[in-house]
Amino acid sequence: MSRYKQYIPYLKTYSITLFLLAGFAFWIKIIDVGSNWQQAGLTTFSLGFVLLAAYITAKILRIAELPLISGYILVGIIAGPYMTRFLTETMVVRLRLVDDLALSFIALTAGGTLQIQFLRKRSKAIAVNIFLITLVVFILVFFSFFFISSRLNLMPDLTYSQIMVLACLLGVIAVARSPSSAIAIISECRADGPFTATVLGVTVAMDVLIIVFFSLAMTVSEIILVAGTAFDFHTLTVLCLAVAGSLVLGIVFGKGISLYIERVGHDLPLFLLFFAFSVFKASIWFNHVIETHFAISLQLEPLLICMSAGFTVQNFSKCGNIFMEGLERFALPIFVLFFSLAGASLNLDALRMTWPLAAFLVMVRAIGILGSTWFAGFLNNDPPQHRRIAWMAYITQAGVAIGLAQLAQRRFPELGVYLTTLVLAVITINQVVGPIIFKMALKMAGEVKQEQ
Amino acid sequence: MGLLIGPQFLNLVDVETQKGLAPLSALLLGWIGLLFGFQFEIKNLRRFPLEFFIAAILEGLMTLVLVFTAVYLTMVFCFDIPDSLTMVIAITLAAAGGCTAQTGLAFLSLDTIDKHQHTVKLLRFISSIDGLGPLLIFGLCFFYNPSTGSDGLWPGGLWKGVLTSLGGSFGLLLLFNLFISHSRLEKELILVVIGMTMLTSGLASTVKFSPLLTNFFVGFWLVNLSKDKERIYQILMTVEKPAYLLLLVFIGVCVRLDSIWLVFLALVYCLYRVFGKFLAGFLVTCLNPKFKKYPRQLGFGLLSQGGLSMAIFLDFQHIFPSRISTFVISFAILAVIYNEFLSYYFFERLFKKGAQ
């Protein structure tokens, strides 16, 4: 208890700040909003409010050793359309563009974190872990969800194929990890060693691969739902082209970013903002043009383009550090906004109905990770202690997983409510539990140098 | 760039996207307002002679009055626009006309600066703060509301608005200070400044007031009362240039080059402003005996019309979105470009005529 006494002055300041912020929010809520200009103002105010409230709440939660991201999501939930209605559904929809921009930034960061020399050093261990985690977690989540949903008739308004698609998407999203959370915790603990290196390698590499798996899952889902026919080679070719095209485009753009940094250099955050915006808009425009004029469903993935671009700048130019610094400067507001808006889109009504299923999925996923990491450790001849605790490092989920669920929601609106709610429910649990046990794992592995 | 990606050409930033980007646009306006507010650190201003301050304010206000009169009369006699909107447009154009940017000064050679250091010092001072009067007068536009049919000034509403704005900005200052008191890292400060600027801009728009002006008040309070002003200023300055670049893009998106009249009207507006600046510069140097050492053609060095004017135009476009306001913005932006060209020519003339 005495440990917490030192935080009392901080808590007082945080409480007064939140109280004043809430006062402004209350004042604005009683104002009669008529014109479009006022409505736009209200949206801007709400965004500012959520940003600041999430930041302060995360700081309060941090005293209780809870991760910052939980604070952001919590504020999003409270401010969202299902609790206080401070952020209405219309606002959340209107802020989708901000959301997309944030997601591009996160994808650029994820790609930039991936360092080739680092991957080479632990390549075998990383590859074995990725392969087993992907396979086991996907299969376990897919079959468990499919079995339990069909047997217990949990979603009576969904057809058999819709449940199959939902299981498939949930299975893929269950594989996703959170590189940002992992990096934050490793940096907080100043952890270093083979265990940390493997965890980081698996986490960031998985973040790139997950896009490929997700694209594949989306295509398979579309075939199941729309065409109802078997997987044909044409579709497979188009998918491969889309993935390869996205990767190649990312490489080209990455080279462009490097050139910009080398030749121009200034206003990098602004340039990256333009880049992120352009990639999203241009992908949508390109996909639309290809589909309407050539009747080909070639879906370029903006996330994959951004990741590939980030990876190229980091590994095939001399300006990786400058690039990461440019992203880092505005990372905090972008992350706070992204996670808060994700929290705001959490459908609490559906969550109330699905929480047992969410808890079940968390357990199944954890079991899958435990089994696969133990076996990977066995194959890699890792020390027994590392084998036992490895699963604890892979529970945390956020960022990209939420983004994937939102993308799937837009592609399959009929499944969206279930998917996003389930994913966010699972992520919320994993995000609260994950970082705490990851920190414990790092301590147990003996790789914590000194906490910041 | 803005014109190219806007609805007139590529339509990458269509109406829906503009709605989605509204918070970013409000953030920009707020950022510029805060930055302008930071120019008014009383301790800093007192390092200059009081005459400088009076000259800057007088010059801005005189230009405003001259441009307002010319624009208003032109609109009354030549255009069929509702009275209230005529007034609002005239105030906006005059307020933007009264502001001066330092872009022309930035291109002066070191040799010229060295030779004419006193004049350059005065011009630099005037161009950094002469927007104060015009910006405050621009605030009056927010008490007109042609869309609801309430024409003319509403004194009760005016005082209510002024008090709300000042009171609100003081409350926001308190909140700003509370946030800064426990934000030590640079990335945390960036978040706080972004969040507070959005909060302030959003609050101002919701209570039907100017985000630019409200943030200016917050900036003014902060720079004079906050212990952490240096840290906030550093954050504001790090993205000063990107903020102005983005502002230009947003303004470009609003522009529609769909009439040849724009070119002519821009020329007319530009001439009114040039005349206003020349006369105001002349009067400022004549009214104060201490200013005898400065050239009578001081207005030649005050023609650049930059960021603050653009922010006023964008703010105006947000409050009164209509075909007329888009037309006004379009020729006003052209006039800004004319002014920039004229600025280079007249700067040379000014310093050839033997200024100190």
Q: What distances in angstroms separate CA A280 from CA A238, A276, A315, B203, one per listed residue? A: 20, 6, 23, 30
Of the partner residues B23, B190, B319, the one whose CB lies closest to the CB of residue A43? B23
- Shortest distance between the Cα of B319 and any Cα of chain A, in A, equals 6
Q: Which range has the worst mean pLDDT, A231-240, A423-432, B58-67?
A: A231-240
DSSP reduced 3-state for B150: strand
Written as one letter, the residue type at A40 is: A
User: What does the alpha-carbon distance between residue B25 and residue B314 come to, in Å, rounded to a whole number?
Assistant: 9
Residue A55 has, within 13 A of its CA and on its CB side, a CA count of 30
Q: Which residue of B has its CA nearest to A16?
A: B178
Helix or strand holding residue B145 (H, E):
none
Consecutive H or E run containing A200: helix A194-222
The Cβ of residue A379 has, within 10 Å, a number of other Cβ atoms equal to 14
CA distance A340 to A71: 8
- pLDDT for A452 equals 47
Q: Which residues in B lie closer than 8 A to residue A330 (C-beta atoms)?
A: 187, 190
Q: Of how many residues is chain A composed? A: 452
pLDDT higher than 50, residue A325: yes
Paired tokens of A400: 């990209």
For residue B145, the cross-strand partners are B150
pLDDT averaged over chain A? 81
Residue among A38, A96, A328 whose CB faces B208 most closely: A38
> What is the reported pTM?
0.80
Q: Shortest CB distance from B190 goes to which of A23, A94, A332?
A: A332
Spatial distance between the Cα atoms of A202 and A377, rounded to a whole number of angstroms = 13
pLDDT at position B153 over 50: no
- Angstrom CA distances, A62 to A70, A190, A334, stand at 9, 18, 19
Hey, how many other C-beta atoms are within 10 angstroms of the C-beta on A398? 30
Copy the structure tokens of residue A19: 């109280």
B22 at A interface, C-beta within 8 A: yes
CATH, residue B163: 1.20.1530
Show residues of chain A in contact with B245, CB under 8 Å.
267, 270
What is d(CA B26, CA B204) in angstroms, rounded to the nearest whole number? 10
- pLDDT on residue A297: 66
Written as six digits, the tokens of B326 are 């888009």
Residues 206-225 of B with CB under 8 A from A: 206-208, 211
**CA–CA distance, A35 with A28 (Å, rounded to integer):** 15
Report pLDDT digits (tens) over A206-224: 876 787 788 778 777 777 7
Q: Is A24 within 8 Å of chain B by CB?
A: yes
For B243, name the nearest residue in chain A, comparing CA atoms only. A270
B-chain residues near A59 (CB < 8 A): 182
Q: What is the CATH number of domain A98-444?
A: 1.20.1530.20
Instruction: Report whether pLDDT(A367) > 90.
Output: yes
Helix ranges, B207-322 (H): 211-225, 229-238, 240-254, 261-287, 307-319
Nearest by CB to residue B190, choosing from A14, A35, A330, is A330
A residues 179-198 closer than 8 Å to B (CB): none
For B:291-320, CB contacts with A below 8 A are: 318-319
Q: Where are the domains of chain A?
A: 2-94, 98-444
Q: Retrieve residue B133's tokens.
A: 């009067």
- What region does A192 belong to: left with phi over 0, alpha with psi -120 to 50, or beta? beta
Range of the domain at B132: 2-352
Name the token pair of A279. Answer: 């990639």
In this structure, are residues B276 and B305 in contact, taking their beta carbons and an 8 Å threshold? no
Type of residue at B51: E
Number of domains in chain B: 1
CB interface of B with A, residues 317-336, below 8 Å: 318-319, 321
Nearest chain A alpha carbon to B200: A45
Say yes or no for a CB contact (<8 Å) between B202 and A336: no
Question: Mean pLDDT across the stretch B105-116?
Answer: 76
Is A357 exposed, middle or buried, given 0-12, 13-18 or 19+ CB atoms closer than 10 A? buried
B165 touching A (Cβ < 8 Å): no
Rounded-to-5 percentages of helix, strand, coil across chain B: 80, 0, 20
What is the spatial distance between Cα A102 and Cα A262, in angstroms, rounded to a whole number? Answer: 25
Task: Determine the pLDDT at residue A398.
Answer: 66
Compute the count of residue pairs across chains A and B with CB atoms less than 8 Å apart.
147
Higher pLDDT residue, A91 or A383? A383
Across A83-108, average pLDDT: 79
- The answer to whether B182 contacts A59, with C-beta atoms less than 8 Å apart, is yes
**Which residues 257-276 in chain A show a CB within 8 A of chain B?**
266-267, 269-270
Which residues in chain A (387-406) have CB-CB distances under 8 A to chain B? Answer: none
Q: Does residue A400 surpass a pLDDT of 80?
A: no
Question: Is residue A97 within 8 Å of residue B16, measured between CB atoms?
Answer: no
